[in-house]
Chain A
């Protein structure tokens, strides 16, 4: 089985430790996305899997074989780089054939392999072109082609879409997903873009400051973030966070009480951070909501919905609301209604999620 296993992986540069002991199991055929802000150690982790960075401590196994001291070329992994790293002096076919030639694959076999992969990626008409004569999306495809022709056990992607414009990124994202469904190769994908992470991943690994914050399916992470960091990182716009104190049946934020369901009796007086996702409010009150008075700053229309930038006391918050074709009435909104079931609570000291509602 072509899984990747990281056990207690540490990376230090001199005295500075940047990855602090990572444990991760990537199952065969799984698509795992490492996501986190710049400098969180996600690319370093990927490069350690690739063999481009030495592993300071811990064990890396691919296919149950320890890989710590194995050269990149012998790990049977292929990588797609952020800047594509296509050889500018070679045409598309030669770029894809580069690794196969070095591995002394017979010429005829190289040709058929490249023809097959070019077909899959829609590059057949571009095989004679140099990278400079290709569009960003085509270059991206060639970079993937170069990885695919080798039939590796594991694909590694290092922010492969970050150099593309927004529209192309969406398109290529779908292509990568389709390709993965078709080829079924174990993949580890690094990005700082939470939308990419949500859309592509079987499982997401959220990293911060050289540590894993949470691992889970996209919806698990979205619905049940383990802590404030994960809650703030996934979701766009991010979750609104505001300090509060628990009462018997609500969280008191300033003078406002946000009703909460569940058994809070043992926690009265506990300081918490209340998390409200922008989309978890309505403009109409109901039995399942609790009102939150706001002052409207700005309404940003997105078409069918709008982003409401508002202040709650001194705190800036963002909410989503339907436009119903007109944003003018939204300027007059002075109150949103929080869906009480969906409010998240985090410990004010540790930042860890609290599940007090049983």
Chain B
């Protein structure tokens, strides 16, 4: 803003309006985080009475104490890690070679396959056929089923394919002249050159796996297999109509709201930890396909 005086009047108004909009957006995005964190550290009474606005009221760690004593919390936390790490690795194993193949001009039927993949972005079978499909494949209530079934994502394949396509062909040709086969070209040249794109896709996979809720709820029945988000859902529905819990919480100083908030905070922390490491790639990655480097 040091050149503010050099701005034309219209530009000034534009800058002000944009700043206000960004400010509003920031508040709208950030406030739920702050609110949930504040609730999780507040007493059950304060939360129920709606006294929490920005900062914890009657600060306490009771809600956290309650959830960390629940073995199911730790089981579902572990499961979420398994789904996230296993699912992300599985996804990358499918997406990277898939995107590479689709980006190669020598692939016979390339246009058809590309259309085929893109088609799934707009149309899919829907809930019941998918469920029946999983049932017939014996993948209901199966941890491997969850990891496998959502490994391929058309958007990620297309994103990476575009990035691969933008890599000059001469890199591939140089590698071939150097004696590399298809796999060596992919793993020794294309993958290292595509770090930003792969980091972006990895983050997309991590976040979607970590937050995966709906299909896990539909496909998993055993308590020992559910991820954190499903556990959260169970907790919310159990606590709200559990009379015994209502008596305990009054004595202990937490409530259904604060426990829920505490679980949410716990579920956010790992993503917050991972993000800074991938951020620099992620920001580049968002522009992928738009600009040919």
Stretch touching chain B among A98-106, A109-117, A196-204, A279-287: A98-106
B window 133-174: CB within 8 A of A: 168, 170-171, 173-174
Contact-residue bracket for chain A: 20 to 34
Contact indicator A78/B171 (Cβ below 8 Å) = no
Instruction: List residues of chain B with CB within 8 A of the CB of A79.
Output: 173-174, 177
Stretch touching chain B among A21-29, A83-91, A232-240, A270-278: A83-91
Contact-residue bracket for chain B: 10 to 19
Contact indicator B178/A82 (Cβ below 8 Å) = no
Closest to A143 in B: B174
Say which residue of B170, B178, B180 sits within 8 Å of A83 (CB atoms): B170
A334 → chain B, closest Cβ, in Å? 53
Contact indicator B179/A99 (Cβ below 8 Å) = yes
Instruction: List residues of chain B with CB within 8 A of the CB of A77.
Output: 177
Known contacts: A52-B173, A78-B177. The answer to whether A89 contacts B168 by CB under 8 A is no
B129 → chain A, closest Cβ, in Å? 42
Contact with A along B185-218 (1 / 0, CB 8 A): 0001100110100000000000000000000000
Contact indicator B177/A87 (Cβ below 8 Å) = no
A window 263-308: CB within 8 A of B: none
A window 50-98: CB within 8 A of B: 50-52, 71-73, 77-79, 81-83, 85, 87-89, 98
B101 → chain A, closest Cβ, in Å? 19
Contact indicator A85/B171 (Cβ below 8 Å) = yes
Complex-state Cα separation, A79 to B174, whole angstroms: 7
Say which residue of B168, B171, B179, B189 sits within 8 Å of A73 (CB atoms): B179
Q: Does any Cβ of B come within 8 Å of A259's Cβ? A: no
Contact indicator B184/A83 (Cβ below 8 Å) = no
A window 300-352: CB within 8 A of B: none
Q: Does any Cβ of A come within 8 Å of B46's Cβ? A: no
Q: Does any Cβ of A come within 8 Å of B118's Cβ? A: no
Q: Does any Cβ of A come within 8 Å of B111's Cβ? A: no
Contact indicator A50/B177 (Cβ below 8 Å) = yes
Contact indicator B193/A103 (Cβ below 8 Å) = no
Instruction: List residues of chain B with CB within 8 A of the CB of A11.
Output: none
Contact indicator B171/A72 (Cβ below 8 Å) = no
Q: Does any Cβ of B come within 8 Å of A153's Cβ? A: no
Known contacts: A88-B193, A89-B193. The answer to whether A102 contacts B179 by CB under 8 A is yes
B190 → chain A, closest Cβ, in Å? 10
Closest to A150 in B: B178
Instruction: List residues of chain B with CB within 8 A of the CB of A102.
Output: 178-180, 184, 188
Q: Does any Cβ of A come within 8 Å of B288's Cβ? A: no
Instruction: List residues of chain B with CB within 8 A of the CB of A87.
Output: 171, 174-175, 189, 192-193
Q: Does any Cβ of A come within 8 Å of B176's Cβ? A: yes
Contact with B along A140-159 (1 / 0, CB 8 A): 00000010001000000000
Instruction: List residues of chain B with CB within 8 A of the CB of A146.
Output: 174, 178
Complex-state Cα separation, A52 to B179, whole angstroms: 12
Known contacts: A87-B189, A88-B193, A89-B193. The answer to whether A103 contacts B179 by CB under 8 A is yes
- A-B contact list, 16 entries, CB within 8 Å: A50-B173, A52-B173, A73-B176, A73-B178, A73-B180, A79-B173, A81-B174, A85-B168, A85-B170, A85-B173, A85-B174, A87-B171, A87-B189, A89-B192, A98-B188, A99-B178
